Amino acid sequence: MIDLNKKFQQRIADSMEFVSRHSDVAGYSRVSDADLQTVEERGIQAGILTQFKKRVMDSEEGRAFITSNNYGPYLPELWPIITAWYPEFPLKELISVQDMEQDLAYIITSELLTATNKADTIKGEKVETPAGLRTIHGRYPTGEIFGEELVADDFSYTEESSVVVSSEAALAYYPILNDDEALLATKIVAITNDDTTVGDFEYVNTSDGKMNFASRATPAQTATIELATGIISIRGNFKAATVSYVWNIEYATDENIPSVVEDMKMVPLIAKPRVLAMKWTIFSEYVKKKQFGIDIRTQTTKRVLDLLYQYQVRYILDRMYNGAKGTQVTLTIPTTILDLNLKVQKVLEDLNVISQTIQTNTGRIEGNCLVIGNNLKAFFESLPDTYYKKWQSNSDYGFNGPRKIGTIGRYTVFYDDKLANDKAWMTYRGAQWYDAAFYLGMFMPVAPTDAINININVRQAFVEMCAYRYDKPMAVIPITVA
């Protein structure tokens, strides 16, 4: 079996080794030493730099750009921006960001499915999966059956003088065990035709190949389970029953033994080009150069790259929020509770309930990331540092875009300036690359095409290639803040 973690670590090591061997790349990599905290982060940045050097700088098109009069100093100017992209990318702790070696990659998922039709189990049902709710379908191979449900269609009835005197149904598994341990596990809860529940059946004895039960009520209700056939008979008119019992697996057949089958799926992750066009006049270019000593092409490159990165962040946040499949909830900030400790405790308690829902939805871990609008931001930032710790990017320096702004309890908090004031949402991000609701694969960071003069205008396009996948929309829960 392929060791995916070992392969992932090898790719990181190869990228870092490549960067260290090329002086024109290594210097830019060292610029971000203080921003990258882990080997994985350094490896991802190294992978992005490696692809840019191979695909752009060392390509024929790249060499042509370098020698082109129109291209000027674009590639040297791009290096610091590309180097800074990953360390400064505001969502790297919210989503999974990975470099791509090729423009086509695959995410391989494995699901366990039921492989037999038996009782309430249908072939092809999910048994468990890390991408969805963990459920157990089918019965236990040890023979214990907990809560087999019998409905009206399962019963046949015996009548005397047009009155139902007995209700019979067949249990899914047999023969039935009745040793001391099995007797402790055998229970019957039945519902009469007039919706009366009889749940106090007790074992009496075994005779003539049948287990005999009687309720404690007066007059007592009686029931039997035939050991050899699994036929249950309840005296009276019953329309439903739930039965727990133990069957003898020494007589198991292929039909009776629960079985599962692994279903492997390959989901393509395709890096697609995205383009933003830019144009300016030769007059503005001349004025900037003469009056301010600014190369408009270099300056424009930086500004447009920054704009494209903002579009990328905006696209991811909007897609995650608008495509969320978690059930929307309301988070109420208490106004009647005056004690601050109790107020914060109540908010965290409600957040923890939402967090647990994400674990239930995904089968992975609890929610630990919050993206918030102005109302929740105002509340968090009104709290003392003992409750809410501001992040350095939340200092006042004239930037109001999406970013990480702090932590509260177990939650990393991000601010989205375009989110409605009374809205927020929660998701999760784990230590493994696949433990995220959203994946971003970077094949080629933003690069400019050659500038073209048309009459008095200069036109240029900026291109990137990346792949997006919204993998677990159930792991995103919208929140209304009241």
Q: Is residue 267 part of a domain?
A: no
Highest mean predicted confidence (pLDDT) among 143-147, 188-192, 267-271, 400-404: 188-192
252 and 285 assigned to the same domain: no
Residue corresponding to tokens 């914060």: 344
CA 242/CA 244 separation, integer angstroms:
7
Q: Domain for residue 95, yes or no?
A: no
Task: Give the separation between CA 340 and CA 344, rounded to whole angstroms.
Answer: 6
- pLDDT tens, 398-432? 456 788 899 999 999 999 989 999 999 999 998 88
Does residue 385 belong to any structural domain of this protein?
yes
Q: What is the mean pLDDT of the chain?
A: 80
Question: Do 73 and 181 sit in the same domain of this protein?
Answer: no
Rg of the chain, C-alpha, whole Å: 32
Per-residue pLDDT of 264-314, as tens digits, reads 888 888 888 877 777 777 777 777 777 777 777 677 767 776 777 778 888
| Residue range 355-376, pLDDT digits in tens | 999 988 887 889 999 999 999 9
Q: Which domain holds residue 40?
A: 1-88
Q: What is the pLDDT of residues 28-65, one digit of tens each?
A: 666 556 566 677 777 777 777 777 666 656 666 555 54
Looking at the structure, do residues 283 and 241 belong to the same domain, yes or no?
no
Cα distances (Å, whole numbers) of residue 405 to 90, 349, 412, 457: 10, 21, 8, 41
Asked if the model's pLDDT at residue 81 lies above 60, the reply is no
Rounded Cα distance between 455 and 457, Å, is 6
- Is the pLDDT at 458 greater than 70? The verdict is yes
Asked whether residue 328 falls in the same domain as residue 454, the answer is: yes
Residue ending a domain, choose from 88, 116, 148 = 88
Same domain, yes or no, for 42 and 170?
A: no
Does residue 348 sit in the same domain as residue 430? Answer: yes
d(CA 204, CA 4): 57
- Identify the CA nearest to 227 among candidates 275, 180, 171: 171
Kindly write down the DSSP assignment for every residue of 278-342, as one continuous string: EEEEHHHHHHIIIII---HHHHHHHHHHHHHHHHHHHHHHHHHHHT--SPPEEE---SS---HHH
* 180 and 320 fall within a common domain: no
Strand pairing class (438-448; 329-331)? unpaired
* 142 contacts 377 by C-beta, under 8 angstroms: no
Average pLDDT, stretch 464-469? 85
**Do 343 and 411 sit in the same domain of this protein?**
yes
**pLDDT: which is higher, 10 or 161:** 161
9: phi then psi, degrees, rounded to nearest 5: -65, -35
Domain count, the chain: 3
The pLDDT value recorded for residue 55 is 61
Looking at the domain assignment, is residue 191 inside a domain? yes
* Single residue among 50, 66, 88 that ends a domain in this structure: 88
**Domain final position from 194, 224, 257:** 257
Residue 253 shares a structural domain with residue 296: no
pLDDT of residue 356: 92
Q: Which of 101-105, 269-273, 439-443 has the lowest mean pLDDT?
A: 101-105
147 pLDDT band (50/70/90 cuts)?
Answer: confident
Question: Are 282 and 179 contacting, i.e. CB atoms less than 8 angstroms apart?
Answer: no
Do 248 and 280 share a domain, yes or no?
Answer: no
Residues 339 and 462 in one domain: yes
| Close Cβ partners of 4 (under 8 Å, ≥ 6 residues apart) | none
CA distance 127 to 83: 44
Question: Quick one: 234 and 308 in the same domain?
Answer: no
- Is it the case that residue 131 has pLDDT exceeding 60? no
Span 213-226, pLDDT tens digits: 999 877 888 999 99
211 falls in which pLDDT band (50, 70, 90)?
Answer: very high
